[in-house]
Structure 1
Amino acid sequence: MKRLLITGAAGSLGKVARARLTHLAETLRLSDISDLGSAKPGEELVPCDLADPNAVSALVEDCDGILHLGGISTEQSFEAILNANIIGLRNLYEAARAHGQPRIFFAGSNHVIGFYRQQEPVDHNSPVRPDGMYGVSKCFGEALARFYFDKFGQETAIVRIGSCFEKPTDYRMLATWLSYGDFVSLVERVFEVPNLGCPTIWGVSANSRRWWSNDHVRYLGWSPKDSADAYAEDIQSAGNWPDASHPLSMFQGGNNTQDPLT
C-alpha cells in the first residue's frame, strides 16, 4: 500500500500498530484526538474527531487501507459512545465509499457476545448478546460493515478482539488473550489476502482455553503463534484466580456483565 490510515493511533493498541506496521505501506497516516507526538519518517499526523464528517472525509482521502482502532474502547456514557463509535463509524464508511473503498480492518470486540456463559459454544453466526453499551456499539459496527459490503461492496474484516495486551493478567485472559505479535500478523493477512469479503474473525491467540474458532476463515492463511498458557501459573500465584461465582469465570464478557448501563 502507498498509504495506510490508522485511527486511534494514540491508544495502546494504536501505538503497537504505529511501531510494528511500518512495512505495510510507504506512509502511515496516523489519526486521533489525543496527542500523537512528533511525526517519524514515513508518517503523517492528522488529528481528527470522528464525529466530524468533513474532517473524516479528508482523513480517508488517498488511503489504500484503513486500520480502524479509533473510538471508545471501554464502557462509558452513551453520549460518548454515540459520537465516537456510532456516528463516527458511519462517517468513516461514508468517507471510504466516497474515496475508492479502501479495505477496512474494523476493531470490533468480544463484548458483542459477552453474556454467553463460558461453557456455551459460540461461533461467528451465534446471535449477539452484548454486555454493555460499548458492546452494543460494536454490534452496530458489525451491522454497518455488513450493510456497506452487501450494498456497496466495501470489504471489511470484522475482528472481534479478545484481550490484546502485552501479556494476559487475569483468569479470563487465559482464554481471550491476543498477543501483539498475533495482532500484527492478523492485520498483515487482512490487507494481503487477494479477496477478503466481510468475514467475522475472532481476534484471539492460540490459547488452549480459548472459546472461539476461526476455522471458517482458513482462507486468510492466519495462524496465531502465541499462547496464554505459559502465564497461567503466574496469574494463579498472583491471586488473580476467581471462584466459580465471579463474572470472570462465568461469562465470556467477564466483569463487563456487571457494569450498570450509563
Structure 2
Amino acid sequence: MPTPRTVLLTGAAGGLGTLMRDLLPAYGYALRLFDARPVEGAPDAITADLTDTAALREAVDGVDAVLHLAGISLEASFAKILKSNIAGTYDLYAAAHEAGVGRIVFASSNHAVGYTPRPVGDAPPIPVDTPRRPDTLYGLSKAFGEDLAQFYWDKHGVETVSVRIGSCFAEPATVRGLSVWLSPADGARLFHAALTAENVGHTVVYGSSANTRLWWDLTSARALGYEPQDDSEPFAEKLIAEQGELDPADEAHAYLGGHFVTNPPIWPH
C-alpha cells in the first residue's frame, strides 16, 4: 500500500499524539490535527469533541487514513468513558466511512486483556487471540473499539489495525514497564507499518519495542513490516534497584494490566 498522503491524527494534544506529531512527518505524512484541547503551536488544528458530528466531518474530509489516539487513557467514570471512548470512537468510524476513508489505525490497549496472567518463567508470550479480559471500564472501551473495528471491516470494508499499546514514553517508569514499553521511535515505526501494510482487514497487534522482558507476541505486528529497534533493558538495573522485582503474589504484578486490575470501581457513574 502506498504511503497515505494526509492522515488525521486524533488526540493530537495528548502525550502520545504530541510524540507522533514530531515523528511521523519524517515518514512522508501530512498530519491534520484534531483534539478536544487546543494543540500548542498548531493554529490550524481542529479543536472539537469527538461527538461533534460537524467537526468530525470536516476532519475526515479528504484524508487518506486516520490514526485514532483520542480518548480517555486512564480509568474514569462510565459516563465519561461512554462519551469519549465508546460513542466518540463510533462517531469517528461513522464519519470516516461516510467520507470514504479506507484505513484507520486504532489505539487499543493491553488493558483490553488486562486480566490475562502475565507470563512467568518459561511460559510462552501472550498471543493476540487470547480471550479479551478487560481490567477496567477503560479496558472495556478498548475491547469495544476492537469489536467496532471488526464490524466496520465486515460490514463496510473499512480496514483497521488495532494496536494494543503498552506504554509509550521516552523511557519506562516502572519494572512492569520494562515488559510493555514502546519507545516513541518504535511507536512511529509501528504506526507507519500499520498505515501502509497491504490487506490488513482488521488486524490486532501488540504495541511494544523488542524488549528482553517482553510479555506478548509481536508476530502479527512484524507481519505488517514492523521492525522494532529498541529494548527497555538498559533501564532495568536502575528500576529494579529502586522498585524491586515483580512479585507474582501481588495482584498488581500477577496480571498483564498491572495496577489497573486493583483499581477500585468508580461509582456513581
Settle same-fold status: TM greater than 0.5. Answer: yes
Report sequence identity in percent. Answer: 40
Counterpart CA distance in 2 for 1:24 and 1:218 is: 18
Corresponding residue for residue 12 of structure 1: 15
TM norm structure 1: 0.93
Corresponding residue for residue 260 of structure 2: 256
Which amino acid letter does the alignment assign opposite residue 15 of structure 2? S
Is 1:29 paired with 2:20? no
Counterpart CA distance in 2 for 1:47 and 1:63 is: 17
Stretch deviating more after TM superposition (173-182 or 48-57): 48-57
Corresponding residue for residue 49 of structure 1: 49
Corresponding residue for residue 96 of structure 1: 96
Mapped contact 2:63–2:101 kept (Cα < 8 A): no
Stretch deviating more after TM superposition (191-200 or 9-18): 191-200
Mapped contact 1:4–1:24 kept (Cα < 8 A): no
Corresponding residue for residue 153 of structure 1: 157
- SS of the aligned residue for 1:156 comes to strand
Return the offset for 1:242. 4.3
Which amino acid letter does the alignment assign opposite residue 225 of structure 1? Q
Counterpart CA distance in 2 for 1:118 and 1:219 is: 23
- SS of the aligned residue for 1:21 comes to helix
Mapped contact 1:201–1:217 kept (Cα < 8 A): yes
Return the offset for 1:26. 5.5
Is 1:193 paired with 2:193? no
* Structure 1: 5+ residue stretches without partners: none
Counterpart CA distance in 1 for 2:189 and 2:260 is: 28
Corresponding residue for residue 144 of structure 2: 140
What whole-Å deviation, never above 9, does each CA across 1:51-110 have from its counterpart, x for those lacking one? 222321221111111110001100011111101100000000001111112311100000
Pairs aligned (count): 259
Return the offset for 1:3. 1.7
- SS of the aligned residue for 2:47 comes to coil
Return the offset for 1:48. 1.6
Corresponding residue for residue 113 of structure 2: 113
Which amino acid letter does the alignment assign opposite residue 71 of structure 1? G
Return the offset for 1:184. 0.5
Corresponding residue for residue 62 of structure 1: 62
- SS of the aligned residue for 2:149 comes to helix
Is 1:210 paired with 2:214? yes
Two-structure CA RMSD over aligned residues (Å): 1.7
What whole-Å deviation, never above 9, does each CA across 1:26-65 have from its counterpart, x for those lacking one? 631111111212328xxx3111200222321221111111
Which amino acid letter does the alignment assign opposite residue 51 of structure 2? A
Mapped contact 2:39–2:45 kept (Cα < 8 A): yes
Stretch deviating more after TM superposition (158-167 or 193-202): 193-202
Counterpart CA distance in 2 for 1:231 and 1:248 is: 21
Which amino acid letter does the alignment assign opposite residue 93 of structure 2? Y
TM norm structure 2: 0.91
